[in-house]
Amino acid sequence: MPEATIRSILDAVPLPAIFVGKDDRIAGLNRKAEALLGPVEARPFITAIRQPAVLDAVEACRSQRKPGSARYLAKQGDQDVIYTAHCAMVEAGPASGVLISFEDVTDRQQIGQMRRDFVANVSHELRTPLTALMGFIETMQGPARDDPVARERFLGIMANEAQRMNRLVRDLLSLSQVEEMERVRPDTRLDLCDLLSSVLRNLTPLAEKAGGTLQAQFDAGQVFVEGDADQLRQVFGNLVENAIKYGGRPPEVMLKITEIPRDPVMRGPAICAEVIDNGPGIDPVHIPRLTERFYRVDSHRSREMGGTGLGLAIVKHIVNRHRGRLKIDSQPGQGSRFTVILPRIS
């Protein structure tokens, strides 16, 4: 096959692509393949691609005259990139060869891994209360059948475990709904001060029950944003409730609103809403992962407090939907500050 024909075939392929001739040398490659593999034209194929799975796929393609594929791993900087090498036989008499194109499937693989991790985490979170429920049911059917005191105590524990599963399922459904709506920007005009005042009214009894205080400091009487009222209540309700539950003893929580005349990221006016607590603080090493699903700094304490490990993941997705930013600042022994910055409208 003339070199010009090989080149035209390769240039027509939108992916990195190479052509391996009958002599096992690379007869041509396009620019994307050269960026991936380097200047390998005319080199023996096995010295350019040193991964047995791809070599086997090429050999099978030749011998069976059928397309094949194999995984090809590449290093780009400090990143591992996963490709699927697709092999196809090109019949052209003496100039026949194998066309190999490299499809980047890194994102697909990562999404698949995230799904597997998610299923594993959900299974783990459900297995613990389910195991407890099954154990208490078995005990009540056996040794505790005729013991009303033990039966009452076990029923209380079973109710707590059932509520724990219910919270997890509720948060999973909420996370799914939020992710589905994330690309749809809300367009309802809301007074953020009014909305946050209602959140404070609802959660003040929880703070008082813990012997603490819940205070507000609003720089303005009214500030407006475009938003989904229910979702924003969920965001600030979650942040304030966390501050009460995991803050100091007694908890002292402050909710502040300040106006930003021009936010450099949003390139316009913004609203800064901060939830500040007097808790034990968080080691900065944990902060980048706090919004991951099921990530907990102290998993035992979180479960004791009724946490599902999904609250901050939900907060992050809602803030993203509102084209906002979530910032977390904390140091051990210095409390925590959760900041939500939203675009302001007039």
State the pTM of this model.
0.63
Which pLDDT value is given to residue 153?
Answer: 85
Q: Is the pLDDT of residue 48 over 80?
A: yes
Higher pLDDT, 50 or 116: 50
> Which residues pair with residue 89 across a beta bridge?
98
Q: How many CB atoms lie within 10 A of CB 132?
A: 17
Task: For the chain, give the percent of residues with pLDDT over 90.
Answer: 29
Which pLDDT value is given to residue 148?
Answer: 82
Across the range 312-321, mean pLDDT stands at 91
Query: Which amino acid makes up residue 36?
Result: L
Strands of 17-21's sheet in order across: 26-29, 17-21, 97-104, 79-90, 68-76
Are 227 and 322 in contact by the 8 Å Cβ rule? The answer is yes
227-277 per-position pLDDT tens digit: 999 999 999 999 999 999 888 889 899 999 999 888 888 888 999 999 999
Which pLDDT value is given to residue 97?
Answer: 87
Q: Which 3 state secondary structure label does DSSP give 291?
A: coil
Q: Residue 298 and residue 25: Cα distance in Å, rounded?
A: 57
Q: Residue 299 — pLDDT band, cuts 50, 70, 90?
A: low
Q: Residue 232 and residue 320: Cα distance in Å, rounded?
A: 11
Are 101 and 85 in contact by the 8 Å Cβ rule? The answer is yes
Q: Residue 137 — pLDDT band, cuts 50, 70, 90?
A: confident
Which pLDDT value is given to residue 234?
Answer: 92
155-193 per-position pLDDT tens digit: 888 888 888 888 888 888 888 888 888 888 898 999 999
Q: Which 3 state secondary structure label does DSSP give 232?
A: helix
Q: Is the pLDDT of residue 110 over 80?
A: no
Domains, the chain, in order of start with CATH, read 3-104 (3.30.450.20), 106-181 (1.10.287.130), 185-346 (3.30.565.10)
**Token code pair at residue 294:** 């099921």
DSSP state of 127: H
Higher pLDDT, 91 or 335: 335
Across the range 293-300, mean pLDDT stands at 74
19-32 per-position pLDDT tens digit: 998 888 888 888 88
Q: Alpha helix locations (H) across the chain?
A: 3-12, 31-37, 45-48, 52-64, 106-141, 148-181, 192-209, 229-246, 299-304, 311-321
Which pLDDT value is given to residue 225?
Answer: 93
Tell me what the pLDDT averaged over the chain comes to: 85
| Non-local CB neighbours of 212 within 8 Å, separated by 6+ positions | 244, 247, 248, 249, 250, 251, 252, 253
